[in-house]
Structure 1
Amino acid sequence: MPRPEPHDPRGLTGRRILITRSADRAKPLASLLTGLGAAPLVLPLIDFERAKDQAILDDVLDRLGAGEFDWLVISSITSARVLLEKAAERGTNPAGLVPEATRVATIGPSSLRVLESIGLSVHLAPTQLQSADGLVELWESAPARVLLPQADIAAPGLREGLASKGADVTSVVAYRTVDYPAVAELRLTAELPAAVEASEDRVPPMLSPDEARAALDAGTVDAVVAASPSAARRIAHTLPPLGRCRLVAIGRPTAAEASRLGLTVAATAKEPTPDGIVAALESVFANEGNPQ
């Protein structure tokens, strides 16, 4: 394995950053890192498959179209990809699935941009605490019928938080989170617009698990990014010992899960975005450069 370039002890130049996402989902962060002189690497650990029970999902989407819900809450970019796929099956676009009277909420700026890019108007999204908790804090206490499509392993916090504010929440499994790679015929393949996925950026080098293990053992990976609690679980199962490699979490739920699994979290992004992750990485290496 080639030796890494010398790095700036207080910055990202020359730092080798392992992103535990598929290559397409890693590109926005990888592009930022490359621009700052870092060397992003990709190790896909999780993937996404269609929900097993498509009949249930189709039924709630029929109910959505019939106006049975006051709110549609999209809590992940992957849920937006599900909407794209289901809309295509029906010969429409995502906006065609959502009546004008139904409002849309999400959990932060990244998912807001994605939803707007596929034609949905977002009526509520937190700007301070950009997470499920942040959305619950903003939610007005009042009766409301809410559709919440989520992953099969989604934590109950958002559903329970909305219910505590008086919402009648219909939660449905929209997709399954699985170890990479997904079964080809089950993989969720809907592609977000190029502006969101930064599809023109060069795909960063992708490592195999054995190559990642060798790099960690050699001490040539400076940081690993966990972009979800499920990614933290796969990191804990697949990568330890991390050695000198620092773990950076995309947000508090991911950091909490990593800590629960015995991983040391070097920094947590204040915002769950590529910019937020970069800022967290910069803080780690800047602190290391400071005298104790």
Structure 2
Amino acid sequence: MLPPEPMAAAGLRGRRVLITRSADRARTLAALLRSKGAIPLVLPLIDFEQATDQASLDSALDTLAAGGYEWLVVSSTTTLRVLIGKAAERGTTASQLVPAGTKVATVGLSSRRALEAAGLPVDLCPTGEQSAEGLLEVWDSPNARIFLPQADIASPRLREGLATKGASVDAVTAYHTVKYPAHDSRRLTAELPAAVGLSGDGLPPQLTAEAVKARLGAGALDAIVVASPSAVRRIAQALLPLGACRLVAIGRPTAAEAARVGLPVAATANEPTPAGIATALETIFANEGNPQ
């Protein structure tokens, strides 16, 4: 028999959890943590800007719209934001950028929900490992021509893995990952569909790096949630030492980057969703008393 929900949530009661995203992107997770008695705070570490080479991106999008690709592979919800923005420039919608004969694949359930909320049915998504490796494990379309819009700092493992399986991959930089905040004139401004669930019940408090360092020094943070390898690198550059604060990674690539830079990971979320992150946090504090 499963334990009653109040006991499951008790481990988070009073826990101060830092989410390393901007307040608007963190509010769904923050709302869930708040419902479990935690105190969510945010410190944005990275932001996103439009790709410098818009001509290559526009050319690939023209090929996509003309039916020149058998697959569109979307590896992040930020890529979907780019597609929504580019569609708006063209006076259309993201779903209309993708012709009926082109299949859509993605790396995890969160991006699948976002794509489907934008009107893009997903044909392939891993249900086990939510990552590029997970998608490669279930990929079974040899010799396909693929459009893969990605971040400028995206790992080559997805592109190379698809190519190893016989695909012809057009990997195009869709956006740049930068230190927060992005430049006003280049920041991605397109919003994900409301159905993705970014509303929450209010924005959590947003801190500065100096305020976070002061809290870390005072032992006033219990956990930090980090969502990407680039955010791990920013933590290593700007926030050390973490003291007794636990690091929770969203996904194996993020955990691997933390290990590479010498940051111990207390838990890794099995799913890159608010529920998956909350579960990872609960496993850390389940056997500890609540903070006074």
TM-score class, shorter: over 0.9
Unpaired runs of at least 5, structure 2: 1-7
Counterpart Cα distance in 1 of 2:92 and 2:50: 19
Helix, strand or coil at the partner of 1:142: coil
Alpha-carbon deviation of 1:195? 2.7
- Alignment of 1:244 with 2:255, yes or no, is no
4+ residue stretches of structure 1 with deviation over 3 A?
none
Helix, strand or coil at the partner of 1:127: coil
Counterpart Cα distance in 2 of 1:221 and 1:150: 33
Look up the match of 2:28: 28
2:16 partner amino acid: R
Aligned residues of 1:194 and 1:200 also touching (Cα < 8 A): no
Deviations 1:118-137 (A, max 9, x none): 11011000111111101000
Alpha-carbon deviation of 1:211? 0.8
Alpha-carbon deviation of 1:10? 6.1
Look up the match of 1:283: 283
Look up the match of 1:175: 175
Map of 1:89-168 to 2, 5 A cutoff?
A: 89-168=89-168
Counterpart Cα distance in 2 of 1:142 and 1:264: 39
1:223 partner amino acid: A
Aligned residues of 1:24 and 1:197 also touching (Cα < 8 A): no
2:83 partner amino acid: L
Aligned residues of 1:10 and 1:288 also touching (Cα < 8 A): no
Helix, strand or coil at the partner of 2:185: coil
Aligned residues of 1:249 and 1:269 also touching (Cα < 8 A): yes
Counterpart Cα distance in 1 of 2:33 and 2:55: 42
Helix, strand or coil at the partner of 2:183: coil
Aligned residues of 2:31 and 2:200 also touching (Cα < 8 A): no
Look up the match of 1:18: 18
Aligned residues of 2:72 and 2:148 also touching (Cα < 8 A): yes
TM-score of the pair, normalised by structure 1: 0.94
Helix, strand or coil at the partner of 1:265: coil
Deviations 1:66-96 (A, max 9, x none): 1110000000000000000000000000011
Aligned residues of 2:9 and 2:37 also touching (Cα < 8 A): no
Look up the match of 1:201: 201
Counterpart Cα distance in 1 of 2:82 and 2:201: 24
Alpha-carbon deviation of 1:36? 0.3
Alpha-carbon deviation of 1:273? 1.3
1:199 partner amino acid: S
Look up the match of 2:48: 48
CA RMSD of aligned residues (A): 1.4
Percent identity over the alignment? 65
1:238 partner amino acid: A
Counterpart Cα distance in 1 of 2:105 and 2:141: 15
Aligned residues of 2:9 and 2:282 also touching (Cα < 8 A): no
Aligned residues of 1:51 and 1:174 also touching (Cα < 8 A): yes
User: Which deviates the most, 97-106 or 267-276?
Assistant: 267-276
Deviations 1:14-67 (A, max 9, x none): 000000001111111111101100000000000000000111100000011111
Counterpart Cα distance in 1 of 2:182 and 2:287: 38
Counterpart Cα distance in 2 of 1:34 and 1:142: 46
Aligned residues of 1:225 and 1:249 also touching (Cα < 8 A): yes
2:224 partner amino acid: V
How many residues were matched structurally? Answer: 282
Aligned residues of 2:20 and 2:44 also touching (Cα < 8 A): yes
- Alignment of 1:228 with 2:228, yes or no, is yes
Unpaired runs of at least 5, structure 1: 1-7
1:44 partner amino acid: P
Helix, strand or coil at the partner of 1:49: strand
